[in-house]
Structure 1
Amino acid sequence: MASVAGGSDPFVAHLLHWFDGHGRHDLPWQHPRTPYRVWLSEIMLQQTQVATVIPYFLKFLHHFPTLPDLAAAENDAVMAQWAGLGYYARARNLHAAAKRCVADHGGELPRDLDALHALPGIGRSTAGAILSQAWKDPFAILDGNVKRVLTRYHGIEGFPGLPAVERPLWALADAHVAQVPVGRMADYTQAQMDLGATLCTRSRPSCVICPLQERCVARREGRTAELPTAKPSKVLPEREAVAVLLQDGQGRTLLQKRPETGIWASLWTLPQADTGLAMQDWFDAHVDGALEDAQALPVLQHTFSHYRLQLQVLRARVSGLKVDHPMLRWVAAGDMPALGLPAPIRKLLEAVL
């Protein structure tokens, strides 16, 4: 079994021993484990599973193999490679952080917790994950998997997203890190994430083969279904909107770039308005054509984190635009893969066009 400094922390010892035989050792960002690759994987893995991330990670690296390459890229190029992965603020922050690293840190990620934390999109846990995996520095992490493991192992009650619950969890995470053997920090960080993702899962955890079962409070007290305490549920509000799928005489589709903030920020999508009347006003001001005979496509339904959208799409053939606009662009079907489009809009266009 892996030894522990002072032999005082069974949590660390059992976890590392389990990782050596059952952990994930062949993830693409582990070979080579550079700061840039670790950082990219950590951002992509936020709210996204490993199996989903791997092909996006490899594709993204192919286009932007180094941090300076990412910093020098156009926004549309970055968003195009991220499109479909969701939570697009991650891509915008990643791009902004890369530019900051080039401007302030010589084109490299800084090996400092506060400096990393100050970069866009890097919170305390992500900064710790980068330092511990890229440089094997002793810093704790507290992502969703680790919160679940610690709340069950130590019997911590309360929704772990609350500061009053998160503070003691950070203290426990730091205490465990202090007992990690020299040279094993990258393995220990990965081990926590692997355990939460494969055994200590949200539902139906595999306690009978868990290396921590003997000292786990939730296991001992039969409370694995109760811990971690669930976030109070709320009903997602429904919103309706109208979008237009307009094509010109060349068969090109009109796309509109979204603002830099808000839903689908900086992505190219169909022109959209909150109501049919607002869409008619926008159409009359910008488009040479008529909307009265437009074909109503099936309502597109998409769930965001804060609401559920019912999007009515109207399809029409038009002559063109009345005036050029920097946020509007006619795009041929073959050119769409080079632009960042929201996944539901991309699927709609692929089906219709």
Structure 2
Amino acid sequence: MMKLDEQARARIIGYYPEQQKLSYYTSSGSEHDGAADIDGDSLSLSDLVDCFLEESCQEKNEDGECSATSDDTESTRRLNSVTVDLSDDDSFQELHRVFIADRGDQYRDLLVSGVQHALEMLQFQFRGLGSCRQQVVLRGVMSRLRSLGHNAAVCKTKWDASTSGGLVSGGHEFIDVLVDSSEEDSTGQQLRYFIDLDFAAKFEIARPTEAYKRLLNFLPGGTFVGKEAQLRKVVKLMSDAAKRSLKSRGLHLPPWRKNRYMQMKWFGPYRRTVNALPGVGCGGDGKWRVECRAVMGFDPVCHGVSGGYFVRT
């Protein structure tokens, strides 16, 4: 078997030591505008129609649904005619196709292996961290991926209602991995892989129908690892299915389960950081300290409690 030199390995993994000098590797993290990821050409026609209908709804009837006036009834009818309304069976088949299409991605398989190994090791390290446990584990996985040479970081999205077109304020944390794709296409842009722990829990709703439970059970029970296009489709399919499920139960779709809100979790404005420890509010304020011992390839990155944490995979 031919051995690869350092430059060849770097091109495959997308990690270059000299890039440590770039701003998004600073300890405090760097901010990225995710607005372009939500709006514009990246959305399909049906996505844009959904966003328009959600945002343009100013009047609601007694059931809380949008009421069209005589002036916009015809316009709304035309817009609805081009919106694809998938049934639950169609959604399941489409969700299946989305995940099947990602098979054969060798780099994704490499990341999945790295994440699973990291989680197996971390379950023996962390215990007694309370609400901070998830953040510590997330950073532990990120650190492990970086030790393997991947350009991984913790991404923290955050948006405010006053600047996000009326969306409820929110935020989310996940891991992303950047891969240099210049050798795969002519754009020179970096591919971005998303890693989200406890993925299916992000889509749980009240009183789900059996059809929605079927979709939810099809999602990765533990960790999602995939590219942007795949994640966007999954979020859209699940958001639409959640709306149908709640409506069939006579319940309203809460703001934090709408498609635009869910898309913002991963594609909103974000800060990218490689800090191994959580920030202020979860350890940076000195309220607790963690002591990590080196276990099977893990370097100790923090100092106080050792124990275990389990995440479904």
TM tier relative to shorter chain: under 0.3
Q: TM-score, normalised by structure 1?
A: 0.20
- Which structure has more relative contact order (CA 8 Å, sep 6+)? It is 2
